[in-house]
Structure 1
Amino acid sequence: MSTLTALRGPARVVVRQHRWTLWIAGGLALLTVAGLIALALRSDHVAEVFAASECRTDGADGNRECMQVARNYLDSMFTYRRVFDDVALALMAVPVLLSGFVAGPLIARELESGAFRLSWTQSVSPARWLAAKLAVPAVLLLAGTAVLSFVLQWAQSQADNPYGSEWYSPQIFAGTGILPFAYLLLGLCAGALIGILVRRTLLALTLSVLVTGAVGVAFAGLRAHLWPPSTVSGTSLDVRENIWWVETGHLTGTGERLSQDVCADVAESARARCFADNDITGHYLDYHPASHFWPLQLVETGILLALAAVAVTVAFRLLRRRTG
């Protein structure tokens, strides 16, 4: 028995109506997975070959041939890192595209054309109709995103790339952990609400893309403030690797914080005098260590799921009110 035959009622209708979209999305996902695996194996091979050459990336050995080998190696690894980052960036765009698809072709188009009446007159309630519209893409995309996210993280870890991406970069942070699933659910629920509110295919699609994209951009800017940062202070800062800088500045003798811009435009010879005039006795750095990855992920995920729950609840109530 085929998957389509095994489905019943509204879910089967959704799959049949949008089967070409599902086939294209599935094909792109499979091609991406295959490409990531091939690129990871290639990256691992390039790293092994370079390690066996005993050349150094800093060119300190003075060997001209080694310098060219090192340059070729670094160019290749930079290209691989950029491809991985582009895939992570594409994963960030999936919730936005999903939101537009749900709002426009999936919901608003049926409400605009009146095609929904056929389902509602065949013992399918409006609530069940909407639930099927949301459940089918949710299940498929959550499963596909889980596979893509896992393969992407595995591919990035295969070779010791000297151009490793920081854990806090927007595309890496939002494309790993549990955030991709939270953004997918938000895009799904926001699209449903906007589709029911607007009932015009193109307008609903456009508004949903803009709203979901704006939420992603807003969280990228607010993310550093979702969890209390760690702080290091003193006359000289112990700047560690793999940390996310949040804020840095000066400290006065009373512990007051001053902007980093204070004395920034003063000549080096006069900087000591400027520090004395402003009673600057030290500096501070607010930062997120790598251990803050999961607290930040959990807080942002909780907010996104709450927004998604509000959106889908309002969507069902609005649909019930408009249909009696």
Structure 2
Amino acid sequence: MTVYTTFPSAMGCTPWEFRERLTQEAKWAEAAGVRGMLVYSDNKLLDPWAAAQLLIERTQQFVPLVAVNPVYAHPFDVARTISSIGFLQERQVDLNYVTGGFHRHLTELGCGLDHDRRYDRLTEYAEVVARLLDGSRPVTYQGEYFQLKGATVTPPLEAALTPGVFVSGASDACRAAQQRLGATRLAYPHEIGSYQGTSALAGTGIRLGIIARDSSDEAWRTARRRFPADPMGEEVHEIAAETVESRWHQNLSADAFRSHEPRDAYWLYPFRAYKTFCPYLVGSYEEVGALLARYLDLGVRTLILDEIVEEDDLHHTMRALRHARGEAS
């Protein structure tokens, strides 16, 4: 199983404080054997490529998983950025293709495409990037959204640095893009009992938080201290849910609105209170590991962890992961 963490929020930090915090979290994760870090992208966040560059400069082998949205740059620019990082730093980046879930953000940038057509454009975009990075011949591409005639990215990217490719979403349009691109689909897991079939999550990576400790009681004390009841946050979530187009957000919100009470180790309250954007697994190492193992049995091979709060969180999480893989002593 490949594991990434999540880029922390810069809210409330000075530039120096944030650089130090990011560096510390990346080094903690790298030392724990985590592959890299998911770097978000929307109109209100830091530029993900600038963030990726900082991660590369402050680590040895850490791989940024960079969110790429077609509204921000031409695919040639993305391919050239990846090629330049490969040449100058001899480092790899992975790509998480996204369409943008906030309608207002898309409107601000003049994007009027509906949900499914944004995935059509995203698929073309990812195909162009892949062909440019292949570098075996000049790229001519005639699509609905992108046209190239004999384009070449230089210097060429070494094959060993070819990005891993992900696409985010829960809709049929996202699944179609995933299949056409041969990508891993990133999703937010529902309660394990809601899945039908033995390979319901094949080709899928999931994003969630983990709070695991020696005992279930200790884990839940930590969880409720970290995510106390927050009626104001619940109200904010209800308002936001009316404007977000992302199907994963709509589906997970529907689950959280029906009930955010724990179901075994699965817990939606941090998302219900809008303190984070993913479910949590809470319990003893054995309990969390057993539930994770069931997701693995359904085909999950990539795990995106929520933000790191403390270095010990990684220690506890990796113990739970070892239980999930049957490696616990």
**TM-score per shorter chain, which class?**
under 0.3
Question: Which structure has greater helix proportion?
Answer: 1
Taking CA–CA contacts closer than 8 Å with sequence separation of 6 or more, which of the two structures ends up with the larger relative contact order? 1
With the length of structure 1 as denominator, give the TM-score of the two structures.
0.24
Larger-Rg structure:
1
Higher strand share: 2
**Alignment TM-score, normalising by the size of structure 2:** 0.24
